[in-house]
Amino acid sequence: MKTTSLIHQNIAAVLSTIAAIALPFSTVRAHEGHDHKHAAAESGSVIDAWKTAQTSLKGIETAAAAKEHEPIHNEQEKLAVALKQIQENHGAQGADKTRLDGALKNALTASEKVHTAADAKDFSKVDSSLKTLQSTMALLEKQLTPAK
């Protein structure tokens, strides 16, 4: 009996180590096999992209409240496309560009954390990551206000 218990402890330790090593790579692989063709259509307009981002954020909030994985996944991908459109088309210069690019990067990172947590069906992490996403989107909106 002691040998079996010891084997189980060793297996658990090995699995924990593997999980700790693999965790940083999980966000890269989390989206493999997903169909990403449903992302938002490109409009070229910063204002349109921002409206899409806001709509997607609302969709994420609704899906998170309902503990639904797939809508979070879909809306986050639309949000990411919209944020990248803003990044490509905002036209800000100098310090404004630096601040806006930083806000966009933070929003993209926060949205990926929500997406990854949803893919893992870890809704407590979805909720905490969503709060960060909401904060970064509010900061981004402040950066975009002069550009609108």
pLDDT at 45: 87
Q: How far apart are CA 113 and CA 89, in angstroms?
A: 24
Question: How far is 12 from 18, CA to CA, in rounded Å?
Answer: 10
Q: Which residue has the higher pLDDT, 36 or 55?
A: 55
Specify the CATH number for 38-147; select among 3.40.50.920, 3.40.50.720, 1.20.120.290, 3.40.1190.20: 1.20.120.290
Q: pLDDT-derived band of residue 128, with 50, 70 and 90 as boundaries? A: very high
The 10s digit of each residue's pLDDT in 68-110 is 999 999 999 999 999 999 999 988 888 888 999 999 999 999 9
**Where exactly are the structural domains of the chain?**
1-30, 38-147
pTM strictly above 0.75? no
